[in-house]
Structure 1
Amino acid sequence: MPSLSGAVVLVTGANGGIGTHFVHSALDRGAAKVYATARNPRTWDDERIVPLPLDVTDSASIDAAVAAAPDVTVLINNAGVSPASESLLSLSEAEIRANMETNFFGPVFLARKFAPVLTARTGSVIVDIHSLLSWLAVAGVYSASKAALWSATNSLRLELTPQGVHVVGVHVGWVDTAMAAHVEGPKTAPGDLVRVVFDAIEAGEHEVLADEGSVRVKAGLSAPVEALYPQLG
């Protein structure tokens, strides 16, 4: 089974609420080093944490990160954005493309570029953070980008599993971070999400349904579309 003990972890979006928990929790579970990446990386008070600039929408930036982190064994694709308006009809073409660049192309191209690094090491892992909204298209371009990432994760899993890389897809509803500050209702604590994800990695699981909403929505995918979207009635 994959293990965080002795792992070298790279976290995208490490400055955010979920990313920060991934960084600290990886070390708590025995990781030897964590590359904490962001467009503008912050300072960390731990020599095991290596701040690394990374713009997941920029190919040259991804290449530079691969060159700077040739010892990675766990890649966590956590970075993501949600536009102020998610409507596919009202957003500009540039806004739609920008969302897809961060939420879909970024994780896919990171996986492609890091694949030779990961396949060269036993017990390597890729984690992709999807969303409950991968399966529920109520968030326009955000849902579309996460649905695309979910499909890509499944494809990457089929390609990389025979090469020894364990690929984990994570589905969760609202998480209690700045991105969801405007949302009412139940939210998963970032620390709880990260704990569930790391437990799943070490248990050898391929998919994480991190909350009741994700479980419920996935179970409803086999129903008629009107059941999933009652507003169509």
Structure 2
Amino acid sequence: MRRSSPQSLTETMIMDINGSVALVTGANRGIGMAFTEALLAHGAAKVYAGVRDLNAALNPRLTPLQLDVTDEGQVDAAARAAADVNIVVNNAGVIGGPSLMQGSLDGARREMEVNYLGTWAVSRAFAPVLAGNGGGALVNMLSVTSWVAHRRFPSYAASKSAQWSLTNAFRMALREQGTLVVGVHAGYVDTELAAEVDSPKIDAGDVAEAAMSGLLNDEPEVLVDEVTRNVRAALSGDLEILYANR
């Protein structure tokens, strides 16, 4: 929910997670599960766990909600069922596209369908819900690859770049209704999604906690780790420097 800042003489609104009602997509594992735990730890009154399989093992404090973000019927049904939501976390994501020079493009299409179009469908369906509940917040789980291409995962990076652009569009579109739109960017996270990656990884709980801090401080972008902060800072520089070690 949004509340007036007691330190301000103006009516500036800031986010308050305590007592809020949240929805997290892709909530049954990894970063999604960490988001649900962080929201509960910060006092959320109810957290809907958006999952494709209602039989998935979940924290009993969560409210399961069947939600395949690629199924617009399920997305619309979720928006009706969770009409009390004031925080929406778009976390559902997949990786599994082909290499740059060979392999079927079906995996790349799936990444775009889930990571980009799924975020679009959920955000659009829940925008009026957030407006009706005082504005609230829309949180999109992005990536450092929103800004930098990846030779090994080219289609995943492209889907995250598209998702970042979409996040910025929603930030502009939802400003008038008082909705805070937050993009959360991180490097490799220690989850099943990055299990085959042999690189330093950060903890999913740290990602979720950084996002909570961003919410509480009305930050439009959350840069979770140093890798992400360095890439973000390098965007205005020479491409040869940005891609020197990639």
The bucket for the TM-score relative to the shorter chain is: over 0.9
| Separation of aligned partners in 1, 2:114 and 2:44 | 27
Q: CA RMSD in A?
A: 1.5
Aligned to 1:152: 166
Instruction: Answer yes or no: is the 8 Å Cα contact 1:35–1:52 preserved in 2.
Output: yes
Which of 1, 20, 24 is the matching residue for 1:11?
24
Q: 1:129: Cα distance to partner? A: 0.6
Q: 1:89: Cα distance to partner? A: 3.8
Asked if 1:131 corresponds to 2:163, the answer is no
| Separation of aligned partners in 1, 2:240 and 2:58 | 49
Is the partner of 2:88 in helix, strand or coil? strand
Asked if 1:190 corresponds to 2:200, the answer is no
Query: TM-score normalized by structure 1?
Result: 0.94
Aligned to 2:125: 113
Asked if 1:2 corresponds to 2:15, the answer is yes
Instruction: Answer yes or no: is the 8 Å Cα contact 2:135–2:177 preserved in 1.
Output: no
| Separation of aligned partners in 1, 2:187 and 2:103 | 23
Q: 1:86: Cα distance to partner? A: 4.0
Query: TM-score normalized by structure 2?
Result: 0.89
Is the partner of 1:161 in helix, strand or coil? coil
Q: 1:50: Cα distance to partner? A: 0.7
Instruction: Answer yes or no: is the 8 Å Cα contact 1:88–1:96 preserved in 2.
Output: no
Mapping 1:1-233, distance limit 5 Å:
1-41=14-54, 42-46=56-60, 48-83=61-96, 85-138=97-150, 139-230=153-244
Q: Which amino acid aligns with 1:17?
A: G
Q: 1:28: Cα distance to partner? A: 1.2
Structure 2: any 5+ residue segments left out of the alignment?
1-13
Structure 1: any 5+ residue segments left out of the alignment?
none
Q: Which amino acid aligns with 1:16?
A: R
| Separation of aligned partners in 2, 1:181 and 1:89 | 23
| Separation of aligned partners in 1, 2:59 and 2:89 | 21
Instruction: Answer yes or no: is the 8 Å Cα contact 2:87–2:138 preserved in 1.
Output: yes
| Separation of aligned partners in 1, 2:102 and 2:161 | 20
Q: Give % identity.
A: 45
| Separation of aligned partners in 2, 1:35 and 1:45 | 11
| 1:89-129 alpha-carbon deviations (Å, 9 max, x no partner) | 42423322111000000011110011110011225100001
Q: 1:230: Cα distance to partner? A: 3.0
Q: 1:87: Cα distance to partner? A: 2.5
Structure 1 consecutive aligned stretches of length 4 or more whose deviation exceeds 4 Å:
none
Instruction: Answer yes or no: is the 8 Å Cα contact 1:7–1:32 preserved in 2.
Output: yes
Instruction: Answer yes or no: is the 8 Å Cα contact 1:2–1:123 preserved in 2.
Output: no
| Separation of aligned partners in 1, 2:218 and 2:245 | 38
Q: 1:44: Cα distance to partner? A: 3.4
| Separation of aligned partners in 1, 2:59 and 2:143 | 31
Matched positions, count: 230
